[in-house]
A and B are shown apart, each in its own frame.
Chain A
Amino acid sequence: MSSDQPRNTENLIAYLDGELNDASAAEVEQQLAGDPSLRREIEQLTRTWELLDVLPSPRASSEFTSKTMTAIRTTQAPVVTGTEGESTEVVPARPTARVLRQWLLRLTGLAGLMFVAFLAFQGAARRERDPVDELLTELPVIERLDQYREVESVEFLKQLQTSGLFNGQSRRE
């Protein structure tokens, strides 16, 4: 192969990386065999590549995994969508507080139901009382109702009673 042929650095690097098919790789090898300057170039490319191995290999800190897993568990909380493409995480109320609140609501509802039932029972019981019994109970008042209307007050009645005006003397002669 002639050294006048234009070198294809791209193919050289792909050849070094094992990315050429068999036919293209064979062509590069033929060029290398006939061109010392091409062989020098590929040697420099190889040595430059190997120089990258002097770079340090950064490693994760010892607590990286545990910190990451802690962050993961935090993300399992309900997510509130914020601005587009972002999300804000909120921590849910503690389960015990939520359960207590639910039980409180249930008890309040139950108490309300019981109170309503009590009122309904009282009303029903009142409606079921015999009206004749009520009249019989109030009969003495009913018979003297006109007289009671003439009395100004109970205190006046007491004064009349204690005055002795009506003790065995019903008429004057």
Chain B
Amino acid sequence: MPAVSPETDQNAWLRDPDVQRMLRVREGDEAAFAELVEAYQDRVIGIFAHMLQDQQAAEDLAQDVFLRIYRARERYQPTARFATWLFRIANNLASNRLRSLATRREVNLKGSDSGPLGARPEEQLFLEKSGLMPTRQLDRQEMQQLVRSALETLNERQKMALLLNKFEHMSYADIAAAMDLSVQAVKSLLTRARESLKSRLEPFL
């Protein structure tokens, strides 16, 4: 599972075509900014959708990311790959949004009701696998729900680090830059996240 090689050349980011696009945006090239939006919209929305579990909220937040990038265009000074800078902004906005939702969000994993698959779907699946109920092959939708539920047991930082590592293929160094953490902190986050996922999903492997 190779990761993106960490930047060893301090000026390697200058060869980043998206850094070059952003420099054009700084000079007033609106079309270059549209190219960046097109290139990153699915990636940003994908991360946010997994974090927020809400497609519309993910799109709204993604638009905020791009607006912030555009407003900062005149002060843009490239010091990293463009994706690293973009996801740093995304991480900050996601943290702010989750913090504001924290008091209103209900955690349903251990609840006795709610959820599209009825009461405690993860517990039902666990019971099946334990032998108390007839075993059966889980279909794709059930697996999605299972994995989604396992992902929801991670805390915000573990989840963001894992999503950036898995779906953005970011190196530990880039994740550290995006999340304003040390590389060792990222390593610890990913270790705890993947151990947690393993323990919850192991019965279904």
Q: Contact: B191 with A13, CB < 8 Å?
A: yes
**Which one of B38, B166, B194 lies within 8 Å of A13 (CB-CB)?**
B194
Interface string of B66-95 (1 = CB under 8 A from A): 110011000000000000000000000000
Q: Contact: A60 with B67, CB < 8 Å?
A: no
Q: Contact: B63 with A68, CB < 8 Å?
A: yes
**Which one of A46, A49, A56 lies within 8 Å of B166 (CB-CB)?**
A49
For residue B201, which residues in chain A have a CB less than 8 angstroms away from its CB?
Answer: 48, 51
Q: Contact: B198 with A48, CB < 8 Å?
A: yes
CB of B16 within 8 Å of the partner chain: no
CB of A99 within 8 Å of the partner chain: no
CB of A165 within 8 Å of the partner chain: no
Q: Name B46's closest neighbour in chain A (CB-CB).
A: A58
Q: Contact: A17 with B70, CB < 8 Å?
A: no
Q: Contact: A60 with B70, CB < 8 Å?
A: no
Q: Contact: A60 with B71, CB < 8 Å?
A: no
Interface string of B35-70 (1 = CB under 8 A from A): 001100110011001100001001100110011001
A7 to B201, CA, bound (A): 21
Interface string of A1-33 (1 = CB under 8 A from B): 000000001100110111100000000000000
CB of A161 within 8 Å of the partner chain: no
For window 41-92 of A, CB contacts with B under 8 Å fall at 44-49, 51-52, 54-61, 64-65, 67-69, 71-72, 75
CB of B30 within 8 Å of the partner chain: yes
CB of B135 within 8 Å of the partner chain: no
Q: Contact: A54 with B67, CB < 8 Å?
A: no
Q: Name B41's closest neighbour in chain A (CB-CB).
A: A60
A152 to B188, CA, bound (A): 120
Q: Contact: B147 with A10, CB < 8 Å?
A: no
A67 to B195, CA, bound (A): 40
For residue B38, which residues in chain A have a CB less than 8 angstroms away from its CB?
Answer: 65
For residue A60, which residues in chain B have a CB less than 8 angstroms away from its CB?
Answer: 41-42, 45, 59, 62
Q: Contact: A55 with B148, CB < 8 Å?
A: yes
Chain B interface bracket (under 10, 10 to 19, 20 to 34, 35 or more): 35 or more
A55 to B144, CA, bound (A): 5
Given contacts A65-B41, A69-B34, contact A75 B194 (CB under 8 A): no
- Nearest CB of chain A from residue B195's CB, rounded to whole Å: 6
A25 to B1, CA, bound (A): 13
For window 157-205 of B, CB contacts with A under 8 Å fall at 165-166, 171-172, 187-188, 190-191, 194-195, 197-198, 201-202, 204-205
A65 to B49, CA, bound (A): 17
**Which one of B1, B71, B171, B197 lies within 8 Å of A75 (CB-CB)?**
B71
For residue A13, which residues in chain B have a CB less than 8 angstroms away from its CB?
Answer: 187, 190-191, 194
Q: Contact: B171 with A19, CB < 8 Å?
A: yes
For residue B172, which residues in chain A have a CB less than 8 angstroms away from its CB?
Answer: 14, 17, 19
Q: Contact: B166 with A47, CB < 8 Å?
A: no
Q: Contact: A64 with B41, CB < 8 Å?
A: yes
23 A-B contact pairs sorted by A residue (CB < 8 Å):
A9-B195, A10-B187, A13-B187, A17-B165, A17-B172, A18-B1, A18-B3, A19-B172, A45-B194, A48-B197, A48-B205, A49-B194, A51-B197, A55-B50, A55-B147, A56-B144, A57-B42, A60-B45, A60-B62, A68-B37, A69-B30, A69-B37, A71-B63
Q: Can you add 19 more A-B contacts, CB < 8 Å, to A18-B1, A19-B172, A44-B205?
A: A9-B191, A10-B188, A10-B191, A44-B202, A45-B194, A48-B198, A51-B143, A52-B151, A58-B46, A58-B55, A60-B45, A64-B37, A64-B63, A68-B66, A69-B34, A69-B37, A71-B63, A71-B67, A75-B71
